[in-house]
Amino acid sequence: MRYGDRRRSRPFDAWDPYSDDPAPPRRNRYAPRRLIRIAIPLLIAGAALGKDLWHIFEPDRPATMDRAAPSDTNFQPVRPIADRPQRPDPRTALPRRAMAEDSPGSWFTDDDYPPSALRDNLQGPVTFRYTVGADGLARDCRVTKSSGSVVLDGTACGVFTLHARYWPARDRAGRVVAESDTQTVRWQIPKD
């Protein structure tokens, strides 16, 4: 009987931990015999089957590679999927170009169209060169091909540097580097 058991009431000092605790469990002397009785048939079966089941323990190597190849055909063993070349993920492969965080089409809206260009019915494409810094922001925007309007050219660079966000480029060692690129924006008068 253990301390705290209320089936028999007695004072605390009358508790004897050595006589009240149950005896430790006896060691099962038949356990090694049972283990041997199970292990011997498994060893015999494994030795009899031998190489036929060995491919279970080598999952990367297909079982068909052990068969003799037909001599009259061009026999090519099938490569496991793990050995096939995988296309690298552009977000993690190195070196990596700068990538836009979201769609570049969302950076320009109808609200960005300059009011003076709307009044004069000015429209056309603007091509500019910019640099993506190590922080992912666009800088150093310079127009390389004008739309014919100074207002549209300046607005294109201004809106682009304000809204453009990039994952910066990385070199082979994984270091963040600056990168230059070009972009074209086509200004079209919005339809009402």
Q: Is 13 left (phi over 0), alpha (psi -120 to 50) or beta?
A: alpha
**In whole numbers, what is the pLDDT of the chain averaged over residues?**
76
Residues of the chain with CATH 3.30.2420.10: 99-187
The pLDDT value recorded for residue 145 is 93
Q: Specify the fold of 99-187.
A: TolA/TonB C-terminal domain (3.30.2420)
179-187 and 169-170 as β-strands: parallel, antiparallel, unpaired?
unpaired
pLDDT at 54: 56
Q: pLDDT tens digits, residue range 132-169?
A: 998 889 999 999 999 888 999 999 999 999 999 998 88
Most confident of 11-15, 44-48, 181-185: 181-185
Give the integer Cα–Cα distance in Å for 47 and 190: 81
Q: Report the distance separating Cα 107 and Cα 126, nearest Å.
A: 15
109 vs 22: which has the higher pLDDT: 109
For residues 121-131, average pLDDT: 92
Would you tell me how many other CB atoms lie within 10 Å of the CB of residue 141? 19
Is this model's pTM higher than 0.75 or not? no
Q: Which two tokens stand for residue 144?
A: 């390389």
